[in-house]
A and B are shown apart, each in its own frame.
Chain A
């Protein structure tokens, strides 16, 4: 019993569970994480996983910190897919592919980009961005009337 408790405590202390790659650090207005077909309201401290899609409503904005110390945020009316993410905290090798379908995105790249400049890629409907560091913003306005 005591050991079970200890194991649970150390899981909590790890802050981020296995499979979790980041954490919601800011959420204002309507913010959701789409995960395996489910739409979960995003709250402060909520873990972010690979393959999650971060969605904000017309009044929403959100900020996420990742395990390699990358930081990003989205403004209102945004859809950002975290398509691939992996980071080795020993070697600092990894990869981070994100795709902004619409809205606004701000990015500060982290340790994996310092380690290997091709580690992070951000896509938009028309282009693909190679990130050599460190800070940039992206805006996508979908075709419409």
Chain B
């Protein structure tokens, strides 16, 4: 009996001992913008070395902080993904997929065409007449070509006459270019006489390879 009374007292005591909940002023907070943890895609970079059309592959050195990647094999790549840098080997197809549009926009590479002339004239050799057609066709493919035509002679004859002859050769070729519709304003000419021999010779040497015009286009 006593145990029961004591037990009841303990329970009652425990109930009374509970502090009355304090009346709290109700503050309505503006509903907070839920800041979900945004998954930020980190900076990503790829550098790939490509083989040239002549088959040669150059070298690009990628310096990223203290890290250095030397890329010198075809389609060797330095890649930064998820904050991690690594060297990887890509394929031609992978490069086409990622860089196709940029590569398509790459302008034709600057190049030089050579045409040869009959001694002491501004007439092309028969072989170069054939070459001229191919050259003109190639030039027509280029958007806004920027052209420098340089005439040369061999060492036969007076240097002064050769200056004039080389200039005439260059002008003749400029005429061919204008005929296919390249604006004259995009063509510069120069005559270098016998100053820049393709094949070095003594004076007064008949050398067909020196009787030439160079068409530099970019």
Chain A contacts to B: CB under 8 angstroms: 9, 12-16, 23-26, 28, 44-45, 61-65, 69, 71-76, 78, 104-106, 108-110, 124-145
Contacts and interface: CB of A to CB of B under 8 A. Distances in A.
B188 interface: yes
Contacts of A104: 98-99, 101-102
B104 A61 contact: yes
A145 B39 contact: yes
Given A139-B45, A143-B40, A12 B102 contact: no
B51 interface: yes
B52 interface: yes
Interface residues of B, number: 53
A45 B80 CA distance: 36
A78 B103 CA distance: 13
The 5 A-B pairs at the shortest CB distance, nearest first, are namely: A133-B58, A75-B102, A25-B107, A132-B59, A127-B64
Contact of A141 (B43, B63, B186, B188): B43
Contact of A129 (B43, B47, B50): B47
A53 to B, nearest CB: 16
7 contacts: A26-B143, A78-B102, A106-B103, A125-B43, A131-B58, A132-B59, A140-B44
Interface of B: 38-52, 56-65, 71, 78, 80, 85, 95, 98-110, 142-144, 146, 184-188, 218
Contacts of A74: 102, 105
Contacts, number: 167
A26 B59 contact: no
Nearest to B145: A25
A64 B110 CA distance: 11
Contact of B146 (A9, A23, A132, A144): A23
Contacts of B218: 65, 69
A45 B45 CA distance: 31
B104 to A, nearest CB: 7
A63 to B, nearest CB: 4
A143 B82 CA distance: 10
Contact of B109 (A24, A76, A78, A108): A108
Contact of A136 (B56, B60, B63): B60
Nearest to A117: B59
Contacts of A137: 46-48, 50, 95, 98-99, 102-103
Given A15-B186, A71-B107, A127 B45 contact: yes
